[in-house]
Amino acid sequence: DTLDPSSLRTPIVAVLGHVDHGKTSLLDKIRGSAVIEGEAGAITQHIGATAVPLDVISSIAGDLVDPDDFDLPGLLFIDTPGHHSFTTLRSRGGALADIAILVVDVNDGFQPQTLEALDILKRSQTPFIVAANKIDTVPGWNPNEDSPINATYDAQSDRVSSRLDESLYEIIGNLSDEGFSADLYWRVQNFQRNVGVVPVSAMTGEGVPDLLAVMMGLSQRYMKEEMEIDVQGPGVGTVLEVKEEKGFGTTIDTVLYDGTIRADDEIVVGGQNDPIVTEVRALLQPRPLAEIRTESRFEKVEEVSAAAGIKVAAPDLADAMAGAPVRIVRDRDLEGVRTEVEAE
Ligand code: GTP
Ligand code: MG
């Protein structure tokens, strides 16, 4: 039986992996934008958030995703930095996630931050799939823009496809060494028990339809199991970044992972010293497919429900901290909420 789409929370998908393995490029391919061009030295230094609506997912995935089969409104992708100095941001991104994509460069294979990311996923028991990225760099590769993986496989010579297979089996072996039973995704029956490996290219878009189809399937199953998640109650979130916004003063870019936030809510935010108690002045929503880190045209909204990336403008946010909890008070006792924030 189908569920009311508004009753299923948007799943949070974290994108993790070693530096330069193509996390931001993969998201750029899905967004149809170019966030890496705006990054210093093409290194991601903050956690980002991008909402991708279901209709965009199904238009990219073509026959692989029929929107009528899904009750989810879309996916909220969390981009994380792969550079070794950002361990805290990676684990924060991993902890926010319902499910994850571990990006591994097929030629470079497992690297230190690949292992670190796996460790985060293991500890948080987050179901994930592996995107074996940059398949277009296999020598002799014959690219097929935006093609599903089986079609582009068929278009390769035997020598090229067996070279790719070798790299893929090496990744599968590495996963097995870390205690994960993994296989090429089309051989996996239960994605919560076994890790599916999806060959992709963020450059040519090959395999991206497959990646999205697997993510949607995994998300839908997972979110239905997590139905106790309250999508209508007072919201709970995490601060990604504290930023000045022209005309609004200090604002907090927030990932709301449960419940709702409204434009007139009283909120408690973790601060450098004591929790900050303040009232929302404006909720600024990035456009669909926009990365909250780089968005310049926000839409003022009255209410947002989880999961979402939202910029919150409110007085007294100067002492707010990235990574700090955000909780909406609404009809609850303020002291109780303040205690919850202090305890986090
Ligand atoms: P950090 O955020 O710093 O951890 O890196 P990242 O994982 O986000 O990697 P990013 O997307 O910035 O890509 C790193 C480099 O690899 C860029 O020069 C990309 O153009 C290139 N790249 C990413 N994906 C592909 C791919 O599928 N094929 C090819 N040929 N190049 C790619
Ligand atoms: Mg990046």
ipTM of predicted complex = 0.99
Task: Phi first, then psi: give them for residue 30, nearest 5 degrees.
Answer: -70, -40
SS3 273: coil
Nearest listed ligand to the Cα of residue 90: 1
Q: Is the CB of 136 under 6 A from ligand 1?
A: yes
| The pair of three-digit structure tokens given for residue 27, joined into one six-digit string | 């998201």
Distance 325 CA to ligand 1 centre (A): 31
Cβ 314 vs Cβ 239: under 8 Å: no
202 lines ligand 1 (CB under 6 A): yes
Ligand nearest to the backbone CA of 135: 1
Q: How far is CA 134 from CA 34, 105, 195, in A?
A: 17, 6, 19
Our measurement of the distance from residue 131's CA atom to the centroid of its chain's CA atoms, rounded to an integer in Å, reads 13
Long-range contacts of 241-245 (CB under 8 A, 24+ apart): 241/46, 241/47, 241/293, 241/322, 242/317, 242/318, 242/320, 242/321, 242/322, 243/311, 245/284, 245/311, 245/313
- Ligand 2 centre to CA of 50 (Å) is 13
Q: Are 207 and 201 in contact (CB under 8 A)?
A: yes
Residue type, 116: E
Helix, strand, coil percentages (3-state) for the chain, rounded to 5, are: 35, 25, 40
Nearest to 282 by CA among 310, 307, 257, 259: 310
Binding residues for GTP: 17-24, 79-83, 133-136
The residue whose C-alpha atom lies closest to atom 21 belonging to ligand 1 is 22
214 three-class SS: helix
Q: Is the peptide bond preceding residue 49 cis, with omega within 30 degrees of 0?
A: no
Query: How remote is the CA of residue 265 from the centroid of ligand 1, in Å?
Result: 40
In the numeric block, which tokens belong to residue 9? 């929370």
Q: Indicate which residue's Cα is closest to atom 26 of ligand 1.
A: 134
Token code pair at residue 285? 């929503």
Per-residue pLDDT of the chain (344 residues; tens, 9 = 90+): 344 545 678 999 999 999 999 999 999 999 987 777 778 778 888 899 999 999 999 999 999 999 998 888 899 999 999 999 889 889 989 899 999 999 999 999 999 999 999 999 999 999 999 999 999 999 999 999 999 999 999 999 999 999 999 999 999 999 999 999 999 999 999 988 899 999 999 999 999 999 999 999 999 888 877 755 557 899 999 999 999 999 999 999 999 999 999 999 999 999 999 999 999 999 999 999 999 999 989 999 999 999 999 999 999 999 999 999 999 999 999 999 999 999 98
Nearest CA to ligand 1 atom 20: 25
For the chain, helix (H) and strand (E) counts, in that order, are 8, 17
Q: Burial level of 221, CB count in 10 A (0-12/13-18/19+)?
A: middle
Tell me the whole-structure pTM to 2 decimals: 0.94
Q: Is 36 in the pocket of ligand 1 (CB under 6 A)?
A: yes
Probe target for ligand 1 pocket from 36, 45, 104, with the most ligand atoms within 8 Å of CB: 36
CA 201 to ligand 1: nearest atom: 27
Q: Is 330 in the pocket of ligand 1 (CB under 6 A)?
A: no
Pocket mutation for ligand 1, best pick of 18, 25, 27, 130 (most atoms within 8 Å of C-beta): 25
∠ CA 132-215-196, nearest 5°, is 45
